[in-house]
Structure 1
């Protein structure tokens, strides 16, 4: 399969490129600078610039582009970047796909979204049919997903990847926590009662392959593990596997000082289940947090 990918240099994108190429697929990467290798093509989503011929040459498009949510302290400027980097890339791809002759359109667009769609659900369990919640990330997800509509209206299968928190020691939720835990100065965040929709990296990659292949699956898909845990449970298990104490809870006020606007999202409870994947028969390699964390720390 010929796959065009945006966001190929990110935490998830680099691992997906490796998986796709190892499985025999041909990956072309969209970049915002001058191409340096034969598998790169230049685009400028901020200016809606993308050569339609690049898209027409693909069987599938995967869009993982977007500024990292946890990479920097949130201020008004970074909030704007979080939103525009996602909406501009999605809009450019979807409109370009829709503008192609039907015979030249890729068969599927896998487009990132996030479980932030649901906002704060407390202890309430939600699946893909739940409406968008409230808050900054929920608002971003709403316009982000809406930006895929031109491709969907053109008859292309569109999958909206409501990804949770992939676990890997080199990035995502886990990386910034490892040093504090190893130093014994870590603990639960706030009350610790907020739910975390984690997923192992292997299962996230397997889900991408599954969704590329399953022509019957479209719309929103929660790409999360089948057994979410609370922050307190996550903290205890990570401490156990690192053989370190976790007895220094981090108050909500301290998080707000360090993280700015992102603190609210870090304390949000999102109890999400993978309804679509479960019903479609997707099989998890790491269905429980213990095995997922072990893999994240050792593989």
Structure 2
């Protein structure tokens, strides 16, 4: 990739922080879209809920990476929080897509975040990007999230949806904030029967995949950002025990999870056996293809 000017939303999140660091280390100019008034020369203001973007601030960018969205597992899915999850994705994406489409010289690519939740519960079935959307709140949310980028697609901008799995990192996200601390205390264990598949990706592979997408002109539409070897919850639990040298004998029964997590329990107990067909077909190489590899890197 030659040196580019790239605008990024969600630059302070787990993935955004790592991506900004990686791009700047290679000499790219990064413009960060922030909700507060700008305090630095590299900041541009936007308001996703009011669908306002300082389009002039992103003029001249060759690429726009849109990562900002409310966290799915951060709170109970009350009616109000479901609305926040939807608005942060749909309104924010629409605002970015309309802003880039309005530019006289639009960016070559809009890379917009999405998630493997779009496939619903896949059971033991292996799914790639050709699979249709599934059913349920998250699947419908992800569909609306991707559809909100239509203005950019209609303007002829190469638009890519990075359907990410669970990002394995010790720095933050669900793994860093919840999974690692529980297992370090010896409180980790199988969830339900443990047969459900978790589609994961190491943070460094996630960043590398996003950069590969920016570089690869033939990629548009959905691209699964998941490791090539999904693991069952039972396998993840065993790998966590090996990595942390902690016991993993506990089991959290499905009814207890449903009581504690309410609607979100269906995502924890549901199975997503997703593979990154389009990344592999375009020559992307995973540095951490297995859950053991990803855990070792996260704990390094």
Asked if TM exceeds 0.5, the reply is yes
Matches within 5 A, 1:90-169: 90-101=93-104, 104-169=105-170
Displacement after TM superposition at 1:258 (Å) = 2.4
**Which residue among 250, 254, 265 is the counterpart of 1:248?**
250
Q: Which 10-residue stretch deviates more, 121-130 or 72-81?
A: 72-81
Q: Which residue of 2 aligns with 1:3?
A: 6
Instruction: Tell me by how many angstroms 1:123 deviates.
Output: 0.4
Q: Which moved more, 1:38-47 or 1:223-232?
A: 38-47
Stretch moving more, 285-294 or 268-277: 285-294
Aligned to 2:175: 174
Aligned residue in 1 for 2:195: 193
Cα deviation, 1:67-115, whole Å, max 9, x if unaligned, reads: 01112222111111111101111000111122222xx100000000000
CA contact (8 A) 2:31 2:58 kept: no
Equivalent in the alignment of 1:36: 39
Label 1:185 to 1:51 Cα distance change in 2 as closer, same or farther (>3 A). closer
Bigger Cα displacement from structure 2, 228-237 vs 282-291: 282-291
Query: Of residues 49, 54, 71 in structure 2, which corresponds to 1:51?
Result: 54
Q: Distance in 2 between matches of 1:127 and 1:179?
A: 32
Q: Residue 38 of structure 1: CA displacement?
A: 1.4
How many residue pairs align between the two structures?
A: 296
CA distance in 1 between partners of 2:16 and 2:55 (Å): 22
Q: Deviations over 1:142-174 (max 9, x none)?
A: 000001111011110011000011110122232
Kept in 2, the 8 Å contact 1:186–1:250? The answer is no
Task: State TM-score, norm by structure 2.
Answer: 0.96
Compute the TM-score of the two structures, normalised by the length of structure 1. Answer: 0.96
Distance 1:50 1:180 in 2: 40
1:180-219 maps to which residues of 2 (within 5 A)? 180-219=182-221
Find the aligned partners of 1:52 and 1:185 in 2 and give their Cα distance: 48
The C-alpha deviation readout for 1:171-217, integer Å capped at 9, x for no partner, is 22322122221222221111111101111111111111111111111
Structure 2, unpaired ranges of 5+: none
Does the 8 Å contact 2:162/2:210 carry over to 1? Answer: no
Q: After the TM superposition, which segments of 4 or more aligned residues of structure 1 sit over 6 Å from their partners?
A: none
1:238 aligned partner? 240
Query: 1:55: Cα distance to partner?
Result: 2.7
- The alpha carbon displacement at 1:251 in A equals 1.4
Mapping for residues 69-84 of structure 1, pairs under 5 Å: 69-84=72-87
- Looking at structure 2, the residues matched to 37 and 54 of structure 1 have their Cα atoms a distance apart, in angstroms, of 12
Structure 1: segments with no counterpart, 5+ residues: none
Partners of 2:66 and 2:201 in 1: CA distance = 19
RMSD (CA atoms): 1.1
2:175, 2:34 → 1: CA distance?
A: 27
| Preserved contact between residue 133 and residue 139 of structure 2 (Cα < 8 Å) | yes
> Is the 8 Å Cα contact of residues 55 and 105 (structure 1) preserved in structure 2?
no
